[in-house]
């Protein structure tokens, strides 16, 4: 929501159908970011099948949400449940070595006219990625600091959810 607000106020947007950020193989994320996705897949009876697909992928593959379940026009097949890295990229900021606010975005956006017209004061209003990752750490410090390749993070989130519900069901029967 904050990234969307910043995007609109600065006139920034991804080109329609771009998805170049999804095509990177070195995207790292944490399992905590993908617990909502794992829970959604579990509730819909898709967790085990999705986990099995992840097991078949090489560790350096594209994001499974884009490549394994990709739609015909490309893009995220589980957009509503995408990770924090996906929500923040393009329209959030961090501080560089000189403590200057720097937009965390792609080359395509950096080359756009809207980006060139951004004023430093507008950049200071960009959501800070570190603030959101600190919020994750407040939920579960360990899982929030378990950075993995994106498919590994999704797989770990699925393991957590499936294990939890497997043991939870056993406890009720006992």
The CA distance from 58 to 35, in Å, is 22
Burial environment of residue 89 by CB neighbours within 10 A (0 to 12, 13 to 18, 19 or more): buried
Asked whether residue 157 is domain-assigned, the answer is yes
Instruction: Tell me the residue range of the domain where 66 lies.
Output: 24-83+141-174
The pTM of this model reads 0.87
Asked whether residue 134 is domain-assigned, the answer is no
Single out the residue of 151, 143, 139 nearest to residue 27, CA to CA: 151
Asked whether residue 2 is domain-assigned, the answer is no
Single out the residue of 144, 172, 171, 121 nearest to residue 35, CA to CA: 144
Single out the residue of 147, 154, 146, 145 nearest to residue 61, CA to CA: 154
Asked whether residue 49 is domain-assigned, the answer is yes
Whether the CB-CB separation of 47 and 38 falls below 8 Å is answered with yes
For the chain, how many structural domains are there in total? 1
Asked whether residue 15 is domain-assigned, the answer is no
Asked whether residue 39 is domain-assigned, the answer is yes
Question: Looking at residue 170, what is its pLDDT?
Answer: 61
Query: Each residue's pLDDT tens digit in the chain (174 positions)?
Result: 788 888 888 888 888 878 888 888 889 999 999 999 999 999 999 999 999 999 998 877 788 888 544 444 567 889 899 999 999 998 899 988 998 888 999 899 999 998 888 888 888 888 999 999 999 999 999 999 999 999 999 999 999 999 999 888 665 555
């Amino acid at each position: 929501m904050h990234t969307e607000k910043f995007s609109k106020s600065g006139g920034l947007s991804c080109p329609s159908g771009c998805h170049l950020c999804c095509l990177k193989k070195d995207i790292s994320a944490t399992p905590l970011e993908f617990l909502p996705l794992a829970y959604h897949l579990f509730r819909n009876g898709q967790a085990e099948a999705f986990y099995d697909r992840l097991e078949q992928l090489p560790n350096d593959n594209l994001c499974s949400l884009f490549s394994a379940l990709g739609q015909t026009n490309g893009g995220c097949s589980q957009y509503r449940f995408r990770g924090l890295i996906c929500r923040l990229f393009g329209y959030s900021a961090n501080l560089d070595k000189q403590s200057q606010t720097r937009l965390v975005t792609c080359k395509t956006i950096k080359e756009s006219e809207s980006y060139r017209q951004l004023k430093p004061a507008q950049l200071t209003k960009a959501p800070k990625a570190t603030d959101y990752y600190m919020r994750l750490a407040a939920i579960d410090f360990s899982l929030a600091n378990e950075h993995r390749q994106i498919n590994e993070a999704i797989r770990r989130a699925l393991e957590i959810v499936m294990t939890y519900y497997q043991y939870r069901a056993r406890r009720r029967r006992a």
